[in-house]
Chain A
């Protein structure tokens, strides 16, 4: 009887520890992106990544997983830039486009904005899971 109680408390403590360790390892970031294209030429691109001052509250929308050993999100995104942008294009992107044609000479300006959103980043072994929370 005593033995079963001990094993139960041990499993409970392991579960609690694992939950806490997951919470500690999960980081909250705020990521925003903006690209400006003038006459089919990329003239400005900004990817803002910062630690979130407040925890991400909401529902997990979508996620992507990177194979990495680094714990620095900026570096992870830099190394897997194409994969991250493919993940971004699935989200809500705001498009603003202006074109002006004066005497048959045309100029265009397209601004693509991903409004700053909260992302939860979980590190587990060689994997980093980035989850959009809304």
Chain B
């Protein structure tokens, strides 16, 4: 009985002393907090020139009033087998390549929704399904270059993101 009282006293005392912090510790923790908030502010990467800080991701393109972001993609499309002329094959392949380029632009600007599903039967994967979706609207994309070689058409497209487009 005596031992249990003694133990409980020790426990209470240790909890009280561990829970409390000295003035120096409080000051250090406050300094840490201000440093963290300063780092978070720097992580906004709005300053020019962009300075890479530890823990920040300033390498990723950030839209600033000073410079535009140019997104370049190369879309691919193939011509059908049963075309009447090379011109028709080129035209059809180019349409397909433009659609592919638009999809790539939408993927880069807005992102992709991905869903996966694995069916496991008797400890073996019998069916693995991955579905991806992109749904977006692209404006002011420009065709930079078009190449057509051996039934494959490649279209290089560019979209420019400016700060004023989002401000207005």
> Which residues of A does B touch, CB under 8 Å?
35, 37, 40-42, 45, 81-82, 85-86, 89-104, 110-112
| Interchain CA distance A42-B155 in the complex, whole Å | 15
| Interchain CA distance A126-B107 in the complex, whole Å | 42
**B114, chain A: closest CB distance, angstroms:** 10
Chain A residues, Cβ within 8 Å of B133? 97-98
A94–B137 CB distance below 8 A: yes
**B164, chain A: closest CB distance, angstroms:** 17
Asked if B161 is at the interface of the complex by the 8 Å CB criterion, the answer is no
Q: Which residues from 112 to 152 on chain B have a C-beta closer than 8 Å to any C-beta of chain A?
A: 127-143
Chain B residues, Cβ within 8 Å of A97? 103, 106-107, 132-135
**B153, chain A: closest CB distance, angstroms:** 9
Chain B interface bracket (under 10, 10 to 19, 20 to 34, 35 or more): 35 or more
Please name the residue on chain A nearest to B136 by beta carbon.
A95
Chain A residues, Cβ within 8 Å of B103? 95, 97, 110
Given A95-B135, A98-B131, A100-B130, decide whether A112 and B140 contact each other with a Cβ distance below 8 A: no
The 10 residue pairs across chains A and B that have the minimum distance between CB atoms: A97-B134, A37-B99, A101-B130, A112-B99, A42-B96, A97-B103, A95-B106, A37-B96, A95-B102, A99-B132
**A93, chain B: closest CB distance, angstroms:** 6
Q: Which residues from 73 to 121 on chain B have a C-beta closer than 8 Å to any C-beta of chain A?
A: 76-78, 80, 91-93, 95-96, 98-100, 102-103, 105-107
A40–B102 CB distance below 8 A: no
A42–B95 CB distance below 8 A: yes
Chain A residues, Cβ within 8 Å of B80? 41-42
**B1, chain A: closest CB distance, angstroms:** 70
| Interchain CA distance A89-B128 in the complex, whole Å | 36
- B150-168 interface mask toward A, CB cutoff 8 Å, 1 = contact, 0 = none? 0000000100000000000
Option from B78, B92, B100, B129 in Cβ contact (under 8 Å) with A110: B100
Chain B residues, Cβ within 8 Å of A90? 139-142
Please name the residue on chain B nearest to A113 by beta carbon.
B137
B96–A89 CB distance below 8 A: no
B77–A102 CB distance below 8 A: no
Chain B residues, Cβ within 8 Å of A40? 76-78, 96, 100
Chain B residues, Cβ within 8 Å of A96? 134-135
Option from B77, B137, B142, B157 in Cβ contact (under 8 Å) with A41: B77
